[in-house]
Amino acid sequence: MAEMAIKKKRPKNLDLPTIRLPLPGILSIIHRISGAALFLLLPFLLWLFESSLTSAETFASFKAVVDHGLVKIILLGLIWFYMHHFCAGIRYLLLDVDIGVDLKEAILSSKIVFGVSIALTLIVGVQVLW
Amino acid sequence: MVNRILVGAHYGLKDWVIQRATAIVMAVYTVIFLVVIGSVGPDSLESWRGVFAGGFMRFATFLFFVSVFYHAWIGIRDIWMDYIKPDGIRLLLMVATATVLVGYAGWAIRILWRT
């Protein structure tokens, strides 16, 4: 009986280009990508933190690295990743306690996460990097 | 209706809770850090070192780092479990992840207590 139900033919739609990921889905995959990227760049960030604190010489080399235009762009990207992970994470914590579970609210809260995280990135990024 | 017997295995509940507890620690620290940086406005080695010289910020930063590493362990482990199916490679990646994170923890302690 149970096997019959499982073997029943179901419609499949795995034509990836035609599947549109809704906004909460985009938020979710960026949450994962940003987490993975922050993990991969941990040694770089720890090195930056260490050289910024150790001595006048290492502080000078820290300054030189951070003043490089390309590094600034990478750091701005990392700040966005951090802020997105932070805001999306708070959204997930609220979902955990059943706040904003309805579809309409979930889409609205996704928009808020994107808006707030980009705003925070610009405010903090410009203050810290420029 | 859940018919599984929920006694005897953890079903990842402990990690689920730690993922969220560490997230809250990091979120609170992020706000504290931004407020401190905003009010001190460190622009030299001395003032930047001063931020972490106090007992509170040093300990809070240490707690933040520990939370980052534990949180990263659970998140990266989830990524390996989702995408890496061969058991051997998955185990290898998990061990490598845990190893570097323990190493980072030692590194972070050295940074914080040397300055």
Residue by residue, DSSP assigns A21-61 as: PPHHHHHHHHHHHHHHHHHHTHHHHHHHHHHHHS-HHHHHH
Inter-chain CB proximity B104 and A42 less than 8 Å: yes
Give the residue ranges of the annotated binding site of A for heme: 85
CA count, 13 A, side-chain hemisphere, B33: 18
Give a yes or no: residue A4 inside a domain: no
What ranges in B1-115 are assigned the alpha helix state H? 13-40, 45-53, 55-83, 87-114
pLDDT for A5 = 56
In a domain, A119, yes or no: yes
Per-residue pLDDT, B114:
87
Give domain status of residue A32, yes or no: yes
pLDDT tens per residue across span B70-80? 999 999 999 99
Q: Domain for residue A19, yes or no?
A: no
Print the domain residue range for A59: 24-129
* A116 vs B41: which has the higher pLDDT: A116
Q: What CATH number should be reported for the domain holding residue A113?
A: 1.20.1300.10
Contact (CB, 8 A) for A33 and B82: no
Cα B63 to the center of its chain, rounded Å: 8
Do the domain assignments include residue A16?
A: no
Is B10 annotated in a binding site? The answer is no
Total domain count, chain A: 1
Residues of B with CB under 8 A from a CB of A: 20, 23-24, 26-27, 30, 34, 37-38, 45, 48-49, 52, 68, 72, 75-76, 79, 100, 104, 107-108, 111, 114-115
Query: pLDDT-based confidence at A1, cuts 50/70/90?
Result: very low
Q: What is the mean pLDDT of residues B16-40?
A: 96
CA–CA distance, B44 with B59 (Å, rounded to integer): 22
Whole-complex ipTM: 0.90
CA distance B17 to A54: 36
Structure tokens at B103: 């190493």
> Is there a contact between B107 and A89 if contact means CB atoms under 8 Å apart?
no
CA B59 to chain CA mean position, Å: 14
Mean pLDDT of chain A: 92
CA end-to-end distance (rounded Å), chain B: 56
The answer to whether residue A67 sits within a structural domain is yes
Does the residue A10 lie in any domain? Answer: no
Identify the residue among B32, B78, B107, B110 best suited for mutation to test binding to A, counting A beta carbons within 10 A and taking the highest. Answer: B107
- Domain B13-114, classified CATH 1.20.1300.10, yes or no: yes
Gap from A103 CA to chain B (nearest CA, Å): 23
Surface-to-core class of residue A102, CB atoms within 10 Å of its CB (0-12 exposed, 13-18 middle, 19+ buried): exposed
Residue in B20, B27, B72 nearest the CB of A96: B20
Considering only CB atoms, A59 lies closest to which of B27, B45, B104, namely B45
A1 assigned to some structural domain:
no
Residue ranges per structural domain of chain B: 13-114
Q: Round to whole Å and give the CA distance between B79 and B81.
A: 5
Residues of B in contact with A43 (CB under 8 A): 100, 104
Q: Which of A49, A93, A127 sits opposite B20 (nearest CB)?
A: A93
More confident: B86 or B2: B86
